[in-house]
């Protein structure tokens, strides 16, 4: 099997060596070259045509975000961001994901010295991603026209790799008074707070990082916080967010399955769910439970998915009643939760 050829870009010589060493330890990955700046990286991309690039967010001649935007516009390729776990760094990483980066890995810290251990697996995933131009924020679906009123219903969405772009597209089509919406997107701690803030700036509904006990209200979207708790919904009559500490499910915490199963249990036919782009099978069984409980269920189609893993798993077991392109998922969810639907 031909190894995955990676270009490592970071202005720190120490970090370049560390990232290269971690990647080279994987027999299926080869470090094609390293670069200390965007200019050097641009030259190496043209010369070597690497399969994947790892990219820092702070560089001397051009910041990583600007370089990523240029790469994805002129020569799209799979990119994994390697960023520091700070408020500033995570906001930049979320912006990078919105521009088309496949995933992000935090740089090692004293509290988390082995954070790069997950990098080889994420590079392998990135190598399987379709090379395509990301959906620009300006191209996101416009809010639906005409009157809309929620009908005591709930929307649940699950996503992973490529999910930031997908969520921007879906939520940009939601009206300001949309049905209460709960989302589990596989992301590290702190990143989810910045994701919620970014979505809140871009979308008509209010978008918040979910907190334990928060009541589900129309016009509000709740994003599961990354960390060691699963987001669920619970309650009799009026539903609320519940954060339950627990072990990873399907390799993830928070888990889409945990969210969807709770929606099936407590909302039943009063819900609509969608499983978006992502690697693996998380959410498929939960979406099936939702459908069996009478909920409307949708999955993103292969053509518009960055990684057609989670949606495929849902389709294979009959969990999704319909598959839609990304642009049609939002309108489908809005239509399924409108009064009289």
pLDDT in tens, 225-249: 998 999 999 997 799 999 999 999 9
- Exactly one of 83, 159, 186, 301 is catalytic; name it: 186
152 catalytic? Reply is: no
pLDDT band with cut points at 50, 70 and 90 for residue 77: very high
Evaluate whether 4-127 and 137-336 have a shared fold: yes
186 catalytic? Reply is: yes
CATH superfamily entry for domain 137-336: Methylesterase CheB, C-terminal domain (3.40.50.180)
- Exactly one of 51, 257, 282, 301 is catalytic; name it: 282
pLDDT band with cut points at 50, 70 and 90 for residue 105: confident
**Model confidence at 136: pLDDT above 70:** no
Instruction: Give the rounded percent of residues in the chain with a pLDDT score beyond 70.
Output: 93
Average pLDDT, the chain: 90
Specify the pLDDT at position 78.
Answer: 94
More confident of the two residues 111 and 222 = 222
Specify the pLDDT at position 87.
Answer: 52
CATH superfamily entry for domain 4-127: Response regulator (3.40.50.2300)
**Model confidence at 57: pLDDT above 70:** yes
Q: How far apart are CA 163 and CA 157, in angstroms?
A: 10
More confident of the two residues 60 and 283 = 283
- Exactly one of 83, 95, 159, 160 is catalytic; name it: 160
pTM value is 0.86
**Model confidence at 171: pLDDT above 70:** yes
Phi/psi for 106 (5° steps) reads: -80, 145
pLDDT band with cut points at 50, 70 and 90 for residue 340: confident
The full set of domain ranges for the chain reads 4-127, 137-336
Specify the pLDDT at position 132.
Answer: 55
């Amino acid at each position: 099997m031909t190894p995955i050829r990676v270009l490592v870009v970071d202005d720190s010589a120490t970090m370049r060596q560390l990232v290269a060493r971690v990647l080279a330890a994987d027999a299926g990955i080869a470090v094609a070259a390293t670069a200390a700046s965007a200019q050097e990286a641009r030259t190496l991309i043209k010369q070597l045509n690497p399969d994947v690039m790892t990219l820092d967010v702070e560089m001397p001649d051009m910041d990583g975000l600007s370089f990523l935007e240029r790469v994805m516009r002129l020569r799209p390729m799979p990119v994994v961001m390697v960023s520091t776990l700070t408020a500033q760094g995570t906001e930049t990483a979320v912006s990078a994901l919105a521009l088309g980066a496949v995933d992000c890995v935090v740089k090692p810290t004293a509290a988390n010295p082995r954070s790069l251990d997950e990098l080889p697996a994420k590079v392998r995933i990135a190598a399987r991603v379709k090379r395509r131009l990301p959906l620009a924020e300006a191209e996101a679906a416009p809010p639906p026209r005409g009157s809309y009123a929620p009908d005591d219903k709930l929307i649940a969405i699950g996503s992973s790799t490529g999910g930031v772009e997908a969520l921007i597209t879906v939520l940009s089509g939601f009206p300001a008074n949309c049905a209460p919406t709960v989302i589990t997107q596989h992301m590290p701690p702190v990143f989810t707070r910045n994701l919620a803030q970014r979505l809140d700036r871009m979308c008509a509904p209010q978008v918040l990082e979910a907190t334990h006990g928060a009541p589900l209200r129309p016009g509000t979207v709740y994003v599961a916080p990354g960390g060691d708790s699963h987001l669920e919904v619970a309650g009799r009559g009026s539903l609320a967010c519940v954060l339950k500490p627990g072990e990873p499910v399907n390799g993830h915490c928070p888990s889409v399955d945990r969210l969807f199963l709770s929606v099936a249990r407590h909302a039943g036919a009063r819900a609509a769910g969608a499983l978006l782009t992502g690697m693996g099978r998380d959410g498929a069984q939960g979406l099936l439970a939702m459908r069996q409980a009478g909920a409307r269920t949708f999955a993103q189609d292969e053509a518009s998915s960055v990684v057609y893993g989670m949606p495929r798993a849902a389709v294979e077991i009959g969990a999704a009643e319909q598959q839609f392109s990304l642009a049609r998922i939002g309108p489908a969810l809005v239509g399924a939760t409108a009064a009289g639907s």
